[in-house]
C-alpha cells in the first residue's frame, strides 16, 4: 500500500506534468475540481493515474468527482478504500 506522503508526491508530479505552473500552489487540501484545476478530461486521466499507481481498478459506479475534491480526499476515498 502506498503511503499518504508517497501518494501526495506522485499526484503532485502528475498534476505538474499536466498543468505546468497551474499546479504550483496545489497542496493536499486544494479544491481540485471546484477551483477548475481538473476539467472532465483531466478527471478521467487522474482516475487512470490512480489505477496505475495503486495497481487496482477503480469501479466507475463507486467513484465520483467528489472523491477528487482534494488530493487528501482522493487518497482517503480511492486509494485507502
Single pTM value for the model = 0.89
pLDDT for the residue numbered 21: 84
Total domains in the chain come to 1
pLDDT of residue 25: 86
Task: Give the CATH number for residue 12.
Answer: 1.10.1200.10
The C-alpha cell at 70 is 482534494
For Cα atoms 8, 66, 23, give the angle at the middle one, nearest 5 degrees.
40
C-alpha cell at 4: 499518504
Residue 1, pLDDT score: 83
Q: Which domain holds residue 34?
A: 4-79
Average pLDDT by stretches of 10, the chain with 81 residues: 94 93 89 92 92 89 88 94 82
Amino acid at each position: 500500500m502506498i503511503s499518504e506522503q508517497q501518494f501526495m508526491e506522485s499526484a503532485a508530479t502528475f498534476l505538474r506534468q499536466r498543468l505546468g505552473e497551474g499546479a504550483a500552489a496545489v497542496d493536499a487540501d486544494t479544491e481540485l475540481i471546484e477551483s477548475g484545476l481538473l476539467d472532465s478530461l483531466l478527471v478521467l486521466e487522474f482516475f487512470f493515474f490512480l489505477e496505475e499507481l495503486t495497481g487496482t481498478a477503480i469501479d466507475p459506479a463507486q467513484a465520483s468527482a467528489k472523491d477528487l475534491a482534494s488530493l487528501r480526499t482522493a487518497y482517503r476515498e480511492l486509494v485507502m478504500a
